[in-house]
Amino acid sequence: MYPCPCSARAASVTPIACTASTSGRAAVSWAAQQLSRRGRCNVVALASADKHSVAASLVAVLKDEIKYERESYRKEELILSGPPGEFELQDEPGTSAFLLAKKFGKEEIIVRVNLDAQPDYDEDEDEMDEYEDEEAQSRPVEFVVNIAKPGSWGDEQVLVFECESDGEYLTIHSVSLDNMDGDEEFGAPGYKGPAFQDLDDTLQQAFVDYLEERGVNAYLGEYIRIYLEDKARLEYQSWLGRMRDFIGK
C-alpha cells in the first residue's frame, strides 16, 4: 500500500501560538481543512486502486479458466455422428434446454431436455469419491417425452413420459395424458395416474416397449447424456466470456 503523504505533511506544519491574530487562526484552519481533504482524497484514490486491482485479478482468473476449458474441450464422437433414431436436434446457443424431434407414423415425438432440471447429487463425500472412481457408472439424465397424435396439439391431449437414463438403461418415472389447454375441471388439477413403480411389472414393461419402438431407448439416453454434458461445457465457456467482458470494461 502506498504511504499516505498527509501524515508527513501534517508533521511539518509549525504550531501557531494562541496569541495569533484572527487572520492567522483562519489560515491555520484553512490549511488543516486542506490537509484533511487531501487525506480523504488519497484514501479514496487508494480504495479505487484496490477495487481496480481486485477486478483485474478476477478478470485474470476468468481468462485462465476460459483458457483451460477451451484447451481441455473435446467434442465426443457420438455427438459428431448426430442423434440416433432419426431424431432431429434443436438447440439454441445461450439457452438451458434442447429438443429432439421426430415423426413416427402420424405421431409427433418431442424429447425435451433441461440443463437446470437435472437431479442434484448431494451424496456423502465418501460415497461421492466411490461413485467417481467407478468410471463405467455414469450419472443419469432426466428428460420428458411428449407424444402427440394428429390434432392433439393445442387444446387436446398429449401423452407425457418423464424418463431417466444413464446410457445403459431407460427408466420411466411417470406417464400421463396432459391437457395442453391447461383447463382443469372444477379448478382442480387433473388426475395424473398412479405412481409408475406401483403399476404391474408387465404393464411397466409394456410402456417401456412402447417408447423403445419409437426410438426412445437407452442408446438415445446415452446421446442425451453426452450432449447435455457437452452443452453444459459450451454454455459455461460462454458464461465465463460474458463475465470477463463485463467485469473487464
Q: Identify whether residues 185 and 230 lie together within a single domain.
A: yes
Q: Identify whether residues 202 and 144 lie together within a single domain.
A: yes
CB 193 within 8 A of CB 175: yes
Q: Residue 29: its pLDDT value, please?
A: 42
Q: Identify whether residues 64 and 166 lie together within a single domain.
A: no
Q: Which cell numbers hold the place of 20?
A: 495569533
Q: Identify whether residues 222 and 173 lie together within a single domain.
A: yes
Query: Which residue, of 55, 72, 89, is where some domain finishes?
Result: 72
Query: Which residue, of 49, 72, 95, is where some domain finishes?
Result: 72
For the chain, how many structural domains are there in total?
2
Q: Identify whether residues 125 and 184 lie together within a single domain.
A: yes
Q: Residue 205: its pLDDT value, please?
A: 97
Q: Identify whether residues 57 and 118 lie together within a single domain.
A: no
pTM of the model as a whole: 0.71
Q: Identify whether residues 175 and 61 lie together within a single domain.
A: no
Q: Which residue has the cell 463475465?
A: 243
Q: Identify whether residues 120 and 64 lie together within a single domain.
A: no
Percent of the chain whose predicted confidence (pLDDT) is above 90: 59
Q: Identify whether residues 89 and 212 lie together within a single domain.
A: yes
Q: Identify whether residues 26 and 131 lie together within a single domain.
A: no
Q: Identify whether residues 12 and 131 lie together within a single domain.
A: no
Range of the domain at 191: 80-247
Residue 10 half-sphere exposure, CB side, CA atoms within 13 Å? 13
Residues 6+ apart with CB under 8 A from 110: 99, 100, 101, 145, 146, 148
Q: Is the pLDDT of residue 10 over 80?
A: no
Q: Identify whether residues 59 and 140 lie together within a single domain.
A: no
